[in-house]
Amino acid sequence: MSLLFPALTAVFLSTIVIEMGRPSVLGTVIGVLFVAVSVSGLTLVGAPSWVSQVFNGAALLVAVGMASIG
């Protein structure tokens, strides 16, 4: 259950990476890499554990907002 939110964020990010509004496998891979590198970076910087969930939520909101615009 804890991996569902980052996975959903990565899939929605895939809809804005290559072609707006259309998910793709390459876009999903890029979304997964973006989420993983960002959360790992936050952990390495020493951010509290709740910051990664806030980041995933903000990225999800941006992805859904951009997908609905395009």
How confident is the model over 42-63, as pLDDT tens digits? 999 999 989 988 998 898 898 8
**Residue 19 pLDDT exceeds 80:** no
Out of 19-23, 35-39, 43-47, 62-66, pick the least confident: 19-23
pLDDT score of 1: 67
The residues that bridge with 19 in the sheet, in sequence order, are 22
* pTM metric for this prediction: 0.79
CB-count exposure of residue 15 (10 Å: 0-12, 13-18, 19+): buried
Angle at CA of residue 16, ends 13 and 22, nearest 5°: 100
What is the residue whose two structure tokens read 């809809």? 15
